[in-house]
Each structure stands twice: as structure tokens, then as C-alpha cells.
Structure 1
Amino acid sequence: MKPGLLVISHGSREAGWVALVDESIEAARAHLGSQLLIEAAFLELVEGRLIQDGIDRLEAAGVTHLFALPLFVSSGSTHVDEIGWALGAYPKSRTETELEPIRISAALTYGKPMDDDQEIVDVILDRMKKLSIHPAKESILLIGHGSKEEGFQEAWEQGFDSIGEQLLRLGGYNAYSSALLQLEEVPERWESLMSGHPMNEIIVVPLFLSEGYFTKQIIPRKLEGLRCRYNGCTLMPHPKIADWIVRKTLEWLKDLGIH
């Protein structure tokens, strides 16, 4: 038995985006040790480092048991579903996909994305400290990409609700709401927070893996004219992302009987 880890994220044409993923992978590798073979792969846009490329390299190195970990924010992402189908982890894709089935010989375990895991909540709390002055007099508006697809939208909302409960409990904030860009919810949710807690300051946090088009252009555009604090800080770079990868991988290795 020779285990291997394949961390899968979306990918970007921006070299800096890819570099942030690689930095998190290298930090995880430092904890997991050189005996475990690790590859970072991307759904699209990164030539020579797509999912099939990563699997081929791991299997060429002798990997017999593979843990494919989706480095995505939510189980509501349609990409998580289509990747699972392409890997053979799911019998069918619940949405239309242009992916083709991926060749794989190793025994596969397909992991779960970040959702409301503690490490992610910790990152968000850390990001909010840069904007927060008096938590008890502040409201939180968490913004994510979201999905209009049935079942996927609900998964986004459930994850965000759980995160919100933890932010209120652990951070001492006064109120919470979330908005999904795909559903055009930002103005409505901002107004709801203002109406319910008019004396509060609103802190806006983007729940995105890395800075890019949505955090630099789309969200600021949605917030124009709305009184709030926003700095666009995303989940990466942060050491807790590597911690999440390490924990998920160690749990998988334990299930395999490898300690």
C-alpha cells in the first residue's frame, strides 16, 4: 500500500493565485512528511497540472491508494460534484459538465470541501480582526459565490448558516447574515442587517479561496453606496488552510490503517 494525496482546486490564469495554492500544499507537505506523495491539481486553466496530470504523476510514482481532496469553499459548488463524478466517486453528475471521466487505477477516496470546518471559521475570525473595533456593536455580512441549482443552493446556505452561528458565538459579534452573488442577495441582506440593527457597523467578509475578479471587482461594485467595512481579504494565504489539508489527510490515513 502506497498512499498519495491529490489536492484539487479550481485554477486560474493568474500565477499568483496558483502560487498561493502551492504555498499551502508545501506547508502541508512539511507537516505530513516526504514519505507521502502529494500533488496539487487544477480543474482548468493551469496547463500541465490538470487533474489527470496529477493522477498520472502519482500513479507513475507507485501510488496505490489516492485521497482526492477538493480545495473548494462549499459542498454547494457544482465543481465539487462534477469532479467527483469524473473521478468515479459519484454514479452521475447532478449538473451538466464538460468534464470527461478521468483515468485512475488507484483505490480512490474523494474528500469533502471546506464548508463550516473549524479551520475555516478560524481564518474568517482572523480576517475580521483587521476590520473589527467593537464586536458587540458589529454585524457580519458573509458573501460567497453561491449557486442557483437545486440542492446546491441549499448546501451553500446550510454551510453559511453554520459558519455564522460560530462567528457569533466565538467572536462575540452582534448579528449575522450571508449573501450569495449568484442570487443577487447583497443589497437585500445588507438592508436586513441595517433594519434589524441600525446602530451596528457592518463588516463584509468574502468567503473565497483567493483574491480575484469577484473579490476585487464584483463585490466592491455590489457594495457601492452601502455603509460597511470591506478589505477583500480571502482565505489564502493563511496557515490554517494547510492545517485543514493536514487534518483531513491524517484522518484518511488513519482510516486506511496508516498512522
Structure 2
Amino acid sequence: MQALVIAAHGSHLSAGSATPTFDHADTIRESGAFDEVRECFWKEEPSFREVLRTVESDEVYVVPLFISEGYFTEQVIPRELRLEEWDVDQWDSDGTSATHTTVTATDTDQTVHYCGPVGTHDAMSDVIVQRADSVTGDRSVDDGEFGLAVVGHGTERNENSAKAIEYHADRIREQGRFGEVEALFMDEDPEVDDVTDYFSTEDVVVVPLFIADGYHTQEDIPEDMGLTDDYRKGWDTPTEVDGHRIWYSGAVGTEPLMADVVLERAADAGADVGDAIERVRRETSSAGPAAGD
């Protein structure tokens, strides 16, 4: 038997923070790729610490639903799962290239394939593009007339936070689907507050590389960009700002295609998922905008 555990942050303050995790878990559960699928959280129940004891399978694939390699993926999750054999050097990563390592959970004796975060997987670039396409409706982003801003939190405390954003911006730029592609940040330069300064295209799609919609994506970023002077009043899509039309998508993690990235992470670690990746990609690619958009 093989099980999948999706590890996410969760929130005590935002009731909808865990919704994308449950949605993607349900999609994967319905695919039949795993005998068991479990969700666990840092700030909600079930917790990281207890989740392995809810799993009957001897072989477990753990996929962190996080954007970057850093404190949570390198320290918190392995510690809480009691992966005492774990060492970050086992990932042999430059900050965006972690794949997986296999260790034994100390107290349950399960074989755990601990995967890199979804946010640095190559397939995340496809999710960002689909997210951009879904918010523009009938207007395709493939004509080169749209600019794309991939937005991250950014922090001087962890350089990998910015690396993940820049990595996907570079990959999407190379595809040539957008007229311009820029990586922007909330807490470091170049800042999303000045989004229109970085684009000559009239239309700009802004996709925040966050797992769930919350304070940053629904309050900070819309106000910082000038979409609204009060997030509680909402904003139009698109909104004209400084002569540009800004198409704001909300968190990329709410895009249904994210379930495909989770599956691909597990498959890269050796999980037998059959044709689930192809089926989930096909189904979620035609699912349209995520609920609540």
C-alpha cells in the first residue's frame, strides 16, 4: 500500500486557508492513484506531528504544499514527522532543485519519501500560465499582448523565497507566450506596488505565487497595486491603473491544476500513480477558474 500526505501551512485566522489543500487532496483521492490520501497542517488539524499515525500504509509520500525551500520544508516538517535521518543536504539542492529523499519515520517505522515543495517543481510554471489564462476569460494570453507579473512575498531572511519566483518567471519568459514577464515582490525590490513601472504592455496579468488566498493576496496586494483603496469594497477585473489594465488572479494555489503538481512530485519520488497525472491534468485544465474567483 502507498499513501500520499499533503503538508500545508493552514491558518488560525483565515477560515479558507486550508480549502485549496482539501480541494487538491480530493482531486487526487478521486483519481485512485493512492490507497490513502491525508492532509495535515502547521496551524490547523490534523497536525504534522500526528498525521503519520493516521496512515496505515507502510510507504508514504510526503509532498509539502509550500512555495519555496526554507524553514518549513527543511526544518519544521521533517522535525514534526520525526524524520530523524533527514538532513537538508540529502536534497542536494541549489534552492530550487529539491526532488526527494527517502528516510524512515522514527516512531512509526514507515518508509517516507520526502519530496521537495510544489512551488519549485517545473510543472508549477504551467499552473501559473493557466491561472493567468483563466482570469482573462475569452482573451488568450498567448498572443504576446499581455504582460505577466509573478508575485512572491520575498524576504531578506531566506533567499530561496525569491529564487522560486524568479525561477518560474524565467521559465515562462523563455516560452515566449507573454510580451513581458517580471518577478515582483511584496517585501523586496522590485516591488509589486510599482507594477506598472515594469511593463510597456497595456494588459498585465498579476499572479501571486501563494498557496491560498488570505491577508496578503486579498488585502495587501490589491491595495498596494492601486486596484482599490479599501479591499473590503472589492475591485474590478480588469482595473485600469496608470494607463494599464491589471488582471489580478488571486493565489495560484487555488488553481485546480495544482493537483497535478502534487502528483508529479510524488511520481518523481517513485510513487506508482498510473495514468493519474494525465487524467488530472486533462480534467483540471478544462475546469476553468477556481471557485470563488
**TM-score, scaled to structure 2:** 0.68
Question: Structure 2: how far apart are the matches of 1:70 and 1:21?
Answer: 10
Q: What's the % identity of the aligned pairs?
A: 16
Q: Does 1:67 align with 2:61?
A: yes
Task: Report if the CA contact (8 A) 1:140-1:202 is conserved.
Answer: yes
Task: Report if the CA contact (8 A) 1:186-1:222 is conserved.
Answer: no
For residue 115 of structure 1, give the secondary structure of its aligned residue in structure 2. Answer: helix
Q: Call closer, same or farther: CA 1:171–1:30 in 2, change over 3 Å.
A: farther
Task: Report if the CA contact (8 A) 2:18-2:212 is conserved.
Answer: no
Task: Report if the CA contact (8 A) 2:146-2:204 is conserved.
Answer: yes
Question: Structure 2: how far apart are the matches of 1:104 and 1:72?
Answer: 25
Count matched residues: 234
Q: Does 1:125 align with 2:129?
A: yes
For residue 176 of structure 1, give the secondary structure of its aligned residue in structure 2. Answer: strand
Q: Does 1:142 align with 2:186?
A: no
Question: Structure 1: how far apart are the matches of 2:78 and 2:64?
Answer: 13
Question: Structure 2: how far apart are the matches of 1:72 and 1:169?
Answer: 24
Aligned to 2:27: 27
- Structure 1 runs of 4+ aligned residues shifted over 4 Å read 101-104, 132-135
Structure 2: runs of 5+ lacking an equivalent:
89-104, 228-240, 273-293
Q: Does 1:182 align with 2:187?
A: yes
Deviation at 1:50, TM superposition (A): 0.5
Question: Structure 1: how far apart are the matches of 2:107 and 2:74?
Answer: 17
Please give the root-mean-square deviation of Cα atoms over the aligned residues, in Å.
Answer: 3.0
Q: Call closer, same or farther: CA 1:232–1:215 in 2, change over 3 Å.
A: farther
Greater share of helix residues, 1 or 2?
1
Question: Structure 1: how far apart are the matches of 2:19 and 2:193?
Answer: 35
Aligned to 1:237: 254
**TM-score, scaled to structure 1:** 0.76
Deviation at 1:116, TM superposition (A): 4.2
Task: Report if the CA contact (8 A) 1:119-1:240 is conserved.
Answer: no
Q: Does 1:7 align with 2:15?
A: no
Aligned to 1:110: 114
Aligned to 2:100: none
Give 2:117's aligned amino acid.
P
Q: Call closer, same or farther: CA 1:176–1:64 in 2, change over 3 Å.
A: same
Q: Call closer, same or farther: CA 1:133–1:249 in 2, change over 3 Å.
A: closer
Q: Does 1:83 align with 2:76?
A: yes
Q: Call closer, same or farther: CA 1:9–1:201 in 2, change over 3 Å.
A: same
Task: Report if the CA contact (8 A) 1:176-1:193 is conserved.
Answer: no
Which of 200, 208, 211 is the matching residue for 1:209? 211
Question: Structure 2: how far apart are the matches of 1:213 and 1:57?
Answer: 31
Task: Report if the CA contact (8 A) 1:31-1:246 is conserved.
Answer: no
Task: Report if the CA contact (8 A) 1:142-1:178 is conserved.
Answer: yes
Question: Structure 1: how far apart are the matches of 2:226 and 2:106?
Answer: 43
Q: How big is each residue's C-alpha offset from its partner over 1:198-218, in whole Å with a ceiling of 9 and x where there is no partner?
A: x54433221111211111111
Task: Report if the CA contact (8 A) 2:61-2:266 is conserved.
Answer: yes
Task: Report if the CA contact (8 A) 1:7-1:40 is conserved.
Answer: yes
Give 1:26's aligned amino acid.
D
Aligned to 2:166: 161
